[in-house]
Amino acid sequence: MLDSATRDMDVIVIGSGAAGLSAALAAHEAGAERILVAEAEGIVGGSSRLSGGLMMGAGTRYQRAQGIEDDWEALFHDYMTLNMWQVEAGVVERLTQRAGAAVEWLGDLGVEFYDQLVFGGDETKPRVHCPIGRGQAVIDVLTRHCRDRGIEIALGQRVDRLLVEDGEVTGIAVGDDTITAGSVIVASGGFGASEQKRSEYFPSVFDTGWSYYIGADGARGDAIDFTRGVNAQLTGFDRGLRLLHTDFDKMYEAYIPGWLTLINRHGHRFCNETAPYGIMDGLLKAQGDSAFAIFDHRSLVEATELGVARYKQQIPGSTKRQSPHWNLDVIDLMLKEGKVHKRDTLAELAESIHVPVGALEATVERINEFASAGEDRDYVKDPKFLEPISDGPFYAVEVRPATCCFTAFGVRIDRDAQVLDENGRVISGLYAAGEVCGGVIGPRYVGSGNSYGNCVTMGRVAGQSAAAHAH
Ligand SMILES: Cc1cc2nc3c(=O)[nH]c(=O)nc-3n(C[C@H](O)[C@H](O)[C@H](O)COP(=O)(O)OP(=O)(O)OC[C@H]3O[C@@H](n4cnc5c(N)ncnc54)[C@H](O)[C@@H]3O)c2cc1C
């Protein structure tokens, strides 16, 4: 390692999202003095500033204040089970052990959270913390603390190479400019903004044919390229979060309203329509990544007049909003564009969407029985969402899991956030955290809150490890 007198910096962080800024602050708290955050774009915050900023964490003071008893072991268990153990268990153990403390650390720095906690996915206890002011507020607080501590944030610096000496990472390069450091932390986010990388590393979103990305422009997956020079191991192929998309516009809707009924190409219902979105992604995969939402005119009019989307869960701060897609105005508009099927009879609707007439009619009969009995005997949807499909005209809209929210293929790390090489050995001087990493987010997203929780928590771990190495 370059000694502290000859190197430019103690720690360099690549990327100024939640992972990068948390890493920089944690490195400073752990004793590193000269810290640089190199940011490619002209603005701080990456996808983290666009994000809801919802963050999972167990055993926090915020949970206790609401009388919620929880601990990291329960979170670890839920996380591992939901992901069928197809994640890096050692990293997930560290993440779940420290996620609660990371939420409280943000609180100590000045991030305010709503009192109400929400369910991120399928866990048994609400453990998702909702910041007032969403992800931007978290970034603002982290940025302020970085600047107060003299941590330099250099904008417009797109790192394209790592410096290496005797097998050890010793700095970064932006074109011909080089800067040396005791440790380098990669926190440059995902690759959703690169269509080419989406098609190569996240084909299940790309192959839907409607794929589009909702995160920051800077998420081009540069780290996949520049860590090749040090033979970093990549893992988590074809993982990330896909949200259901109507192809009406490029506006995402994380949940679908509970009053809709989903059917597959055989005309059958296949799920509880209010399933958490991390789980809905997998449910759609099992149906060949396409389904139809069906409903009748009466339900559409009622949903429109209600004026508020009927989601299973309302996130604090985003309550009392109409669904951006499932209302009369938008459906009428999309009908004219040929993206909505509207027919007077179910038989005509079935023909229009190429599903068997008998199956569609039977599915509708069954949902109507459930609605009048007040019990969904097939998929146990909360009866308050059960709507009969009885008054024509009838509608069908195709949905595909095509909205790419974030990506989860990237460099492999160990529990101390050290990057591993292709053989599984630690690459000295190189650390990583956040969306740039693979193996932490699994085949089933445990979110809302999984990704941001990973960024802040493992960002702090990376900062501490990098500071200790640079010491
Ligand atoms: C709309 C939206 C809502 C979301 N809501 C939630 C939520 O509520 N909860 C949750 O858990 N997750 C949520 N997510 C996902 C989550 O916010 C992101 O996965 C997470 O914030 C990524 O953080 P990061 O620090 O790893 O990367 P980013 O925040 O993307 O930061 C990476 C930074 O690195 C920079 N960079 C890239 N390449 C280079 C380079 N070569 N040199 C220098 N800098 C570079 C980028 O410009 C960027 O600023 C949401 C995502 C989106 C898009």
pLDDT of 232 > 90? The answer is yes
* Residue 99 Cβ < 6 Å to ligand 1: no
pLDDT of 319 > 80? The answer is no
C-alpha 17 to ligand 1 mean position (Å) = 6
pLDDT band at 328 (very low <50, low <70, confident <90, very high): very high
pLDDT for residue 282: 96
* Residue 151 Cβ < 6 Å to ligand 1: no
- The count of domains in the chain is 2
Examine the domain organization and report whether 393 and 451 are in the same domain: no
pLDDT for residue 318: 78
Q: Give the residue from 353, 368, 403 where a domain finishes.
A: 403
Examine the domain organization and report whether 260 and 394 are in the same domain: yes
pLDDT band at 317 (very low <50, low <70, confident <90, very high): confident
pLDDT of 313 > 90? The answer is no
pLDDT of 289 > 80? The answer is yes
Examine the domain organization and report whether 26 and 47 are in the same domain: yes
pLDDT for residue 3: 80
By residue range, what is the domain housing residue 112?
9-239+408-470
Q: Give the residue from 403, 435, 453 where a domain finishes.
A: 403
Ligand 1 atom 13: residue of nearest CA: 51
* Residue 253 Cβ < 6 Å to ligand 1: no
Question: 4 lies in a domain?
Answer: no
Examine the domain organization and report whether 95 and 185 are in the same domain: yes
Examine the domain organization and report whether 369 and 465 are in the same domain: no
Q: Give the residue from 377, 403, 429 where a domain finishes.
A: 403
Ligand 1 atom 48: residue of nearest CA: 46
Which is more confident, 318 or 172? 172
* pLDDT tens, position by position, 100-131: 999 999 999 999 999 999 998 888 899 999 99
C-alpha 189 to ligand 1 mean position (Å) = 5
pLDDT, average across residues 366-388: 98
Examine the domain organization and report whether 399 and 412 are in the same domain: no
With a threshold of 0.75, does the pTM exceed it?
yes
Spatial separation of the C-alpha atoms in residues 234 and 173, rounded to whole Å:
21
C-alpha 457 to ligand 1 mean position (Å) = 14
pLDDT band at 62 (very low <50, low <70, confident <90, very high): very high
Mean pLDDT value across the chain? 96
Q: Which atom of ligand 1 is nearest to the CA of 453?
A: 11
Q: Which atom of ligand 1 is nearest to the CA of 218?
A: 47
* pLDDT tens, position by position, 156-170: 999 999 999 999 999
C-alpha 211 to ligand 1 mean position (Å) = 18
pLDDT for residue 153: 98
pLDDT band at 52 (very low <50, low <70, confident <90, very high): very high
CB count within 10 Å of CB 110 equals: 13
Lowest mean pLDDT among 28-32, 38-42, 254-258, 436-440: 254-258
Which is more confident, 122 or 228? 228
Examine the domain organization and report whether 342 and 455 are in the same domain: no
* Residue 230 Cβ < 6 Å to ligand 1: no
pLDDT of 1 > 80? The answer is no
pLDDT, average across residues 295-318: 92
* Residue 21 Cβ < 6 Å to ligand 1: no
pLDDT of 2 > 90? The answer is no
* pLDDT tens, position by position, 420-455: 999 999 999 999 999 999 999 999 999 899 999 999
* Residue 158 Cβ < 6 Å to ligand 1: yes
Examine the domain organization and report whether 228 and 266 are in the same domain: no
Q: Which atom of ligand 1 is nearest to the CA of 44?
A: 49
C-alpha 297 to ligand 1 mean position (Å) = 40
Question: 318 lies in a domain?
Answer: no
